[in-house]
Amino acid sequence: MMFSLADLIAERREFQRTYVRLKYGKDLDELTETERSEVIKQQVLSMMSEVMEFLDRATNWKDHRAPAELNRHAALEEHVDIGNYWLNLFIYMQIQPHEFLKVFSEKSAVVLKRWREEMEKPT
């Protein structure tokens, strides 16, 4: 089963509508800029927490600890959590999938050009 970025955002939007209704007592589209900014901050901080959980489950990054057996499924669940917060940012920042994909393509070209200029220099 394939999902588009728009499908994933739509699914998250329904959850976020419930969240905003419970937290702020209003519809998602009625958030003030201050409230929207606060929610964005909380989403980013939550995503950062999930990134650290992913790191713990996907790698043995702590070089002062004995390596542990990695749990791929637990890491995948954390990856999904990261993705959910990432998708929520589309909602709160009012980013449309086509807008994201356009800027993604433009930024990727800039990064590739920079990489080639810096890393592919003749020796």
Residue extents of the structural domains in the chain: 5-96
pLDDT score of 123: 64
Residue with tokens 């003030």: 32
Q: Which two tokens stand for residue 39?
A: 């929610």
pLDDT score of 68: 86
Which helix (H) or strand (E) segment holds residue 113: the answer is: helix 97-119
Residue with tokens 């939550």: 46
Supply the pTM of this predicted model. 0.88
pLDDT score of 96: 97
Q: One digit per residue, pLDDT tens: the chain, 123 residues?
A: 788 999 999 999 999 999 999 999 999 999 999 999 999 999 999 999 999 999 999 999 888 989 888 899 999 999 999 999 999 999 999 999 999 999 999 999 999 999 999 998 766
HSE at residue 52, side-chain half, CA atoms within 13 A, is 5
